[in-house]
Amino acid sequence: MGVVYAARARGLNRRVALKVLDGALAGEAELIARLEHPAIVPIYEAGVLPDGRPFYAMKLVTGVRLDHYLESSPPLAERLRVVRRVGEVLAFAHARGTLHRDLKPQYDARSCRRSHRRLPDAKNGGACT
């Protein structure tokens, strides 16, 4: 597992999501980087912090959390569209031997509804976090 922070990449001068991992998931960034898909958040950089913890910086995706979006009672057709799009991205990752082990309703619903939706914060080499 890990913790995700909103941060600014110094060398790139842009906002990023910075995920700091525990040592058990040090290969997570490499697994995610292999999954090139419009709905998978791209990784900009990976490395090791001075204290030895691995990290990676990825595109910062902001929006309404999926659980909050669903509480707003969107039409059934829209809810089904979101579920289908999430499923499509998971199927893409699964077809390449990558399983997402931490899909949760705190993800960004707005990004799941867009035509080029991105599912942030992949865990254990998955397509979305």
Q: What is the CA radius of gyration of the chain?
A: 15
Cβ pair 40, 57 in contact under 8 A: no
Residue 102 among the catalytic residues: yes
* Nearest CA-CA partner of 88 in 110, 60, 116, 108: 116
Contacting residues for 97 by C-beta, under 8 A, at least 6 apart: none
Phi-psi bin for 52: left (phi > 0), alpha (psi -120 to 50), beta? left
What is the Cα–Cα distance from 19 to 4, expressed in whole angstroms? 4
Catalytically annotated residue among 22, 51, 67, 102: 102
Contacting residues for 73 by C-beta, under 8 A, at least 6 apart: none
Q: What are the catalytic residues? A: 102
